[in-house]
Structure 1
Amino acid sequence: MPSPLTHTLVTTDAVGRAFADEALFSAMCRFEIALARAEAVAGVIPDAAATAIADVVRTAAIDDAVALRVSLRANATLSIAVVQALSARVAQAHPEAARYVHWGATSQDVFDTALMLCLRDAWIAIEADHLRLMAALDALAVRHARTVMLGRTLLQPAVPTTFGLKAAGWLGTLARSWRAWASTFDRTQVVQFGGAAGTLSALGTHGPAVEQALAEDLGLEIPDAPWHAHRDRLAAFVAAAGVYVGALGKLAGDVALLMQPEIGEAFEAGGGSSTMPHKRNPSRCAVVVACAHRVPGLVATMLGAMVQEHERAVGGWHVEAATLVDTVQASASAAASMADVLESLTIDDVRMRANIEATRGTIFAERLVMRLAPDLGRQEAAALVKTALEAAAASGRSLADAAADLPALADRLTADERATLFEADTYLGSAETFRARLLAAAAAPGSRRH
């Protein structure tokens, strides 16, 4: 079922399919088939019963979605209706085998495990978009190593930097947050199998053997114990998603600001306006920022849901699935949209230079202070430069010209210094060192793949 139009911006088609009703139902069927096989291997149920269950359940589909939803609301779990439907199907073809459907398991076992299988499919799509955006950022950081631009602090011109360093900064935070998020994803990929209250008591001494075979069949790891009411893995995964999407939101916000016509230094492909033909809106950046606004509330919900009673929660477990799915979908949308932005990003290095020139040299006030401070002391040097700045502002001249008219300042500068102190290319400090270090760290194992 496609997402509602209202949710189009906070999901992607690929991740939507991974969590679609049919995908979740299919994952639950995979659990029941794998469970029957595992129990047959362990000698818990007859081989013939496992074969019959697999043959029937493999072709099962949702017959009555309305009935599933009615049961879900009545029982607060989807598993009851699914198990009943599968048991009825098996009974029609193999009456003796039907009794062994879902043998020794509980509702949370099948649902939690199925959700992890759906998450695994969704992760493949998210990782593909992450790799796209990382490749695009890496290329920007390399290509623009010497592209000089204004650094901006509190939205005001600061000192020069390079767009290469800016892109590498984006790359670095995404590499770090992805590495952290991917590690939490790995920890979610465990089977849930504890039976009624987390002891597998219905299986006697066969519990561990069945669990082993079940996990192997589904390609999942075995946890130390069932995690019915211990939700730290999922909470950590959602919290790490919040950091990753926050990093994407920062990047999108920067690009949107650089797109403003009065700055005009970088542009995504952009979208239009229904009434103003001249506009080139940061549309995909808006999608990323929207997702970055959405996810923190979901993180808070997931953390709150960790407070779960005894061996199975009343409400805490029940809120998780929708919260997890919404988080993953929003994260996927942010990653895909940001990759689209970066792959088509246009950089105007001429405008970057022009914006530096438009400051009339005032961005080099710090440099001038630091040059004079050894002779005059920092406070006196700052006061002298402030006088020059005020004169420049009053006259509309450059800071260099205003400084030349102040003998107390100009007499302390050599001719070469008067020519070079106001050049952006010679006031980049350690920008290149930092850019190179960020690129190297982002290339480290785990920064792009889990």
Structure 2
Amino acid sequence: MIRIILLLNLMFPALFVFTESEVENIFSNDNKNQLFMNVEVALAEAQSELGIIPDWAAKEFKQKADIKYLEHKEVVKENSKVRHGLVARLNVWKRSLNDEASEFLHYGATTVDIMDTVLVLQIDNSLDYLIKDLLEVEAHLLKLTKEHLNTYMAGRTLGQHALPITFGKKTGTWLAENRRNIERLEHVRSKVQRSGILKGAVGSYLGLGEKAIETEAIMMNKLGLAEPSKDDWHGIRDVFAEYAVTLAIISKSFGRIGNELTLLQMTELGETEEDLGSDAVGSSTMPQKKNPRGPGALIEYSRIIPRLSEIVLDDMVNSFERDGQKSDDELKAISIASEEMLERAKPLLAQLKVNKEKMRENLDLTNGLILSQRLTFYLAEKIGKDTANNLMHDVAKYALENNLTLYEVSLENEIISKHISKSELKLILDPETYIGLAAEQAQIIIKEIELKRAQLR
């Protein structure tokens, strides 16, 4: 097996926490063995309901479906002999089962169906936690956006001051994107829920009898899954690929937030700051530094998770009905890494320090030139659009070359001063009165998302 988690820990030790996460527990050896027994019990119960195997055998399996009868160390020991993971599990479990009942265990089934269904359950359970984490992130973003609807700052394009915005407008885009990610996972989950499988060695239900389709449906219902798709997807694995690619998209969302917060915390900007506590050390030799940790971690996850998704995506290319390697290890790794990423994002956003004063101060870095568009539009009504554009390009250039404010240069310009009074000019060059519909825009996003959250209750 590919020890992908160990490799990632060695490559990026700062990213990984040392306590076992919820998703990591889902993919633990003990939980995998428990799910294996649950799947076999569901199969047996479905078969007993249809009269395929005796009811007492199914009851025996259910009574003994306890991890104490399938310890991982015993499975490892048995597997070293039989060299087959599922057979090793069956052999160990059978030691605790009635001999007659054992004859009906794994009746007519094939390995890949059982283990694929185990994997479906693991992914479905992981989605519970991933969606829950995103809903928590959403709560933090809602709070940030509400608090900063009117926190004025510079809107930047290509690294340059462009026009005034509010920080709430910025976080509102994060909020809306996060909601789309929640909906993406919910959509993928609807497909994962239909991916429980019992179709035999070549996917045609051979070996499972005439009631195979009904058996499969009852079995999945008992496992809490939806009506299974009738196609044999084992050699296709597109739903797993969609799950992985969706996680890659989500990682890019958080990578972008991490990158933005890294830049906003730069010494030259100082507009936001990660709260690491008063005792946190930024550098061993440069005491003044306040290095962002969480934002950098989000950027790294946005690189790691898409690479894992590529491997899962490659797993769609297989030969014939059921040949090919499986990316189970990568699906485990991408699920765990995604939860780790969200666990880093939650405290970062919940405790983010926003320096309103610095944001407002930075709005004036261009000496009013960030309002040149507004002045151009105002002049256009007086002297024409093209004339105003040409004039303001010259005015802006002169202000920059002579380190003057836009207000000063405008007052000195005969054309501008002829059409605009000093009081009008002061109002036009007030950035707090030129944010467009930034606040209203963010409020609409808040309202839409709060409505969706209310529907979940």
Whether 1:389 aligns to 2:396 is yes
Q: Please provide the CA RMSD for this pair.
A: 2.5
State the distance in 2 between where 1:313 and 1:67 align: 27
Other structure's SS at 2:154 match: strand
Query: Which residue is equivalent to 2:234?
Result: 228
Query: Which residue is equivalent to 2:405?
Result: 398
Give the structure-1-normalised TM-score: 0.91
Q: CA deviation at 1:375?
A: 3.4
1:122-141 mapped onto 2 (5 Å cutoff)? 122-141=126-145
Whether 1:167 aligns to 2:171 is yes
State the distance in 1 between where 2:191 and 2:225 align: 10
Pairing partner for 2:315 from 305, 324, 329: 305
Q: Which amino acid aligns with 1:252?
A: G
State the distance in 2 between where 1:10 and 1:120 align: 23
User: Structure 1 pair 377/363, CA: closer, same or farther in 2 (3 Å)?
Assistant: same
Identical aligned residues as a percent: 26
CA contact (8 A) 1:71 1:80 kept: no
Pairing partner for 1:350 from 336, 349, 357: 357
Q: CA deviation at 1:66?
A: 4.2
Pairing partner for 1:35 from 21, 43, 46: 43
Q: CA deviation at 1:207?
A: 1.2
Q: CA deviation at 1:268?
A: 1.5
Structure 2, unmatched stretches of 5+, are none
Give the structure-2-normalised TM-score: 0.89
Other structure's SS at 1:367 match: helix
Other structure's SS at 1:63 match: helix
Pairing partner for 1:14 from 12, 22, 34: 22
CA contact (8 A) 1:34 1:218 kept: yes
Query: Which residue is equivalent to 1:365?
Result: 372
Q: CA deviation at 1:345?
A: 0.7
Q: CA deviation at 1:159?
A: 0.7
State the distance in 2 between where 1:370 and 1:399 align: 15
CA contact (8 A) 2:124 2:193 kept: yes
1:21-420 mapped onto 2 (5 Å cutoff)? 21-58=29-66, 59-64=69-74, 66-67=76-77, 78-87=85-94, 89-90=95-96, 93-190=97-194, 191-225=196-230, 226-270=232-276, 272-315=282-325, 318=326, 320-420=327-427
Q: Which amino acid aligns with 1:433?
A: E
Other structure's SS at 2:207 match: helix
State the distance in 1 between where 2:35 and 2:285 align: 47
Q: CA deviation at 1:67?
A: 4.1
Structure 1, unmatched stretches of 5+, are none
Q: CA deviation at 1:355?
A: 0.5
CA contact (8 A) 1:178 1:447 kept: no
State the distance in 2 between where 1:41 and 1:206 align: 11
State the distance in 2 between where 1:346 and 1:446 align: 26
User: Structure 1 pair 223/447, CA: closer, same or farther in 2 (3 Å)?
Assistant: farther
Other structure's SS at 1:151 match: strand
Q: CA deviation at 1:163?
A: 0.8
Superposed CA deviations along residues 200-221 of structure 1, whole A, max 9, x for unmatched, are 2222122133223211221111
Superposed CA deviations along residues 241-270 of structure 1, whole A, max 9, x for unmatched, are 222221121112111111112111111114
Deviates more, 1:438-447 or 1:354-363: 438-447
User: Structure 1 pair 446/245, CA: closer, same or farther in 2 (3 Å)?
Assistant: farther
